[in-house]
Amino acid sequence: MQKAASDSGGTMAEIQLRKVNKRWGSFVGVDNFDLTIADQEFLVLLGPSGCGKTTTMRMIAGLEDATDGEIIIDGKVVNDLDPKDRDVAMVFQSYGLYPNMNVYENIRFPLKVRKVPEAEHDERVRRASAMVELDDFLHRKPAELSGGQRQRVALARAIVREPNVFLMDEPLSNLDAKLRVSTRAQIKNLSHELKVTTVYVTHDQIEAMTLADRVVVMKQGKVQQVGTPTDIYDHPANTFVASFIGSPAMNLMEGELRAGTFTGDNVSISGLTGPDGPVTLGFRAEDAALATDGAGQITAPIYTIELLGDATMLTVRAGRQLVSVKAHKEFRAAIGDMVSFTVPVPICHLFDQQSGMRIDQQPGMRVAAT
Ligand SMILES: Nc1ncnc2c1ncn2[C@@H]1O[C@H](COP(=O)(O)OP(=O)(O)OP(=O)(O)O)[C@@H](O)[C@H]1O
Ligand SMILES: [Mg+2]
């Protein structure tokens, strides 16, 4: 592969995972992970606890051997390379700072280990610390810092190496909600400035949506969908992705499709396209609207009403299923009141009830099961 000289004079860092598996005995931690991560891409691995995110990242870093499959960085198979020879910098959730070194020495440490000429150290440490706004804390020990500041030291220590690849495993999970939002913004800005291929692990779907060029949604070691945040939000490949992305998650209602009409508890929607039989209907809370005349496609009693400030979230009980609808912020009603809302056909998603796979709304098009 042709090497492209980037602004920083660095190398291309495309990462290819070719049918990568990780097994411990008969337990499959990562199942046939196959993906090319583009140079400078910000890729997020998203999924519930235990789905194989950290394991995938540790295999890229070389901290874990792949049971089979190939890992290729910058055109070279790296399966047999030690972590230190892979030119990747990893940021862990637990910071991993040296308690008896001050911030300056913590950031400088990778340069010493890698025998970077001493004359370069000061400039590189100061450049990295400035990027994460730690200039005023260089003399402090980690114990004298807040969680957010420690997290930024860990980031600076990765930045100072000027690696080809950044691997970040839930780097924000120790921070409180407000710091998480500001540090998230800082990471996004940094990745844009540094132009480094980044693989970022999280189980927080909002973090994934806000940071990623592409998101990989995983479940029990298997990739469920790879796409841009818009792809996975607007066209979830299956009910798992639909129920994992979005706050609240997509409404899912079980029912029957007959000649284009979906019927289920408290719901009837005509004009849909799909095979007759049992299906799962999906739609997002913000895509439905209250019907003022009481003549919507769903009519059901209010289960709960939540004031969010910018909107009022209504949850109704349709048979055994709870369904959420976003209403105007001034909307008020009591629990138990009947409400009716419209669910326009273009915002409806249909899924196969058995496999959970998406049934595309264009006739004849069906997304293949993976
Ligand atoms: N050394 C090991 N031996 C056996 N099983 C392991 C080992 N390491 C991890 N696992 C299992 O592999 C699966 C994936 O673990 P992994 O750490 O990749 O999950 P994760 O997606 O990062 O989850 P979390 O969000 O909780 O960090 C889990 O079920 C875990 O118990
Ligand atoms: Mg993990």
- pTM, rounded to two decimals: 0.89
Nearest-CA residue for ligand 1 atom 1 is: 24
**Is 367 domain-assigned?**
no
Q: How far apart are CA 86 and CA 60, in angstroms?
A: 9
pLDDT score recorded for residue 292: 79
Q: Distances from the Cα of 334 to the Cαs of 298, 303, 308, 311, 317, in angstroms?
A: 18, 9, 16, 16, 13
Nearest-CA residue for ligand 1 atom 26 is: 49
Residues 282 and 230 in one domain: no
Residues 229 and 269 in one domain: no
Structure tokens at 112: 């010493």
Q: Distances from the Cα of 61 to the Cαs of 10, 87, 167, 217, in angstroms?
A: 19, 9, 8, 20
Residues 111 and 191 in one domain: yes
Residues 76 and 193 in one domain: yes
pLDDT score recorded for residue 29: 97
**Is 239 domain-assigned?**
no
Residues 259 and 116 in one domain: no
Residues 202 and 80 in one domain: yes
Residues 230 and 254 in one domain: no
Each of the 370 residues of the chain gets a pLDDT tens digit; together they read 333 444 444 567 999 999 999 999 999 999 999 999 999 999 999 999 999 999 999 999 999 999 999 999 999 999 999 998 888 998 887 778 999 999 999 999 999 998 999 999 999 999 999 888 899 999 999 999 988 889 889 989 998 988 889 999 998 887 778 778 888 888 888 888 888 899 999 999 999 999 999 999 999 999 999 999 999 999 999 999 999 999 899 999 999 999 999 999 999 999 999 999 999 999 999 999 999 777 899 999 999 999 999 999 999 999 999 999 999 999 999 999 999 999 999 999 999 999 999 997 654 444 444 4
- Ligand 1 site: residues with CB under 6 angstroms? 24, 27, 29, 47, 49-55, 203
334 lies in which domain range? 248-359
As beta bridge partners, residue 98 has: none
As beta bridge partners, residue 198 has: 42, 166
**Is 240 domain-assigned?**
no
Nearest-CA residue for ligand 1 atom 18 is: 52
25 CA: nearest ligand 1 atom:
4
Q: How far apart are CA 92 and CA 102, in angstroms?
A: 19
**CB neighbour burial string for 331-368, b if at least 16 within 10 angstroms, e if fewer:** beeeeeeebbbbbeeeebbbbbbeebbbbeeeeeeeee
Q: Mutate which of 27, 67, 94, 216 to test ligand 1's pocket (most atoms within 8 Å of Cβ)? A: 27
